[in-house]
């Protein structure tokens, strides 16, 4: 029985993390980092420590320092999260194909 409870809690926490990610916007593009496809993976361990694998629209992104820090801080601010760490990767490189349909529509790509 306790395994199911843990699964539900992790799923619920994952949904809360996604809701927080959807409040963080790339300053150059009026779409949140989640819909832009910048978030590659969100992992939560049994201690409710979160690791987020994300990318930036380009290696020379002007918010290369501040955007990952903002993601980390906002995720850490969730009550159930004990710690959060963001890892930046450029493999695979970000492309417009990674954007959600919603983001493409918002930016006039559809």
Residues 65-102 have pLDDT tens digits of 899 999 999 999 999 999 999 999 999 999 999 999 99
**54 in any annotated domain:** yes
Rounded to whole angstroms, the Cα distance separating 27 from 17 reads 20
Query: How far is residue 70 CA from its own chain's centroid?
Result: 10
Please tell me which residue, 28 or 91, carries the higher pLDDT value.
91
Domain count, the chain: 1
Is residue 17 assigned to a domain?
yes
The mean of the pLDDT values for the chain is 89
What confidence tier does 3 reach under pLDDT thresholds 50, 70, 90?
very low
**DSSP of 73-104:** HHHHTSTT-SEEEEEE--SSPP-GGGS-HHHH
Identify whether 106 is part of a domain.
no
- Amino acid 7: pLDDT: 53
The answer to whether residue 103 is domain-embedded is no
Is 88 part of a structural domain of the chain?
Answer: yes
Residue 37: inside a domain, yes or no? yes
**47 has a pLDDT exceeding 60:** yes
Within a domain: 108: no
The predicted pLDDT at position 4 comes to 46
- Quote the domain boundaries for residue 38: 2-94
CATH number at residue 31: 3.30.300.130
Q: For 6-15, 50-59, 71-80, 87-96, which range has the lowest pLDDT when averaged over its residues?
A: 6-15
Classify residue 86: in a domain, yes or no: yes
Residue in this structure with the two tokens 């809360």, named with its chain if needed: 16
């Amino acid at each position: 029985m306790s395994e199911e409870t843990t699964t539900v809690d992790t799923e619920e926490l994952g949904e809360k993390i996604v809701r927080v990610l959807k409040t963080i916007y790339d300053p150059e593009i009026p779409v949140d980092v989640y819909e832009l496809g910048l978030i590659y993976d969100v992992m939560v361990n049994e201690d409710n420590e979160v690791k987020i694998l994300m990318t930036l629209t380009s290696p020379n992104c002007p918010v290369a320092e501040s955007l990952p820090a903002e993601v980390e801080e906002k995720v850490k601010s969730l009550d159930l999260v004990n710690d959060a760490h963001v890892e930046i990767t450029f493999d695979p490189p970000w492309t417009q194909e990674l954007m959600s349909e919603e983001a493409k529509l918002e930016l006039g790509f559809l």
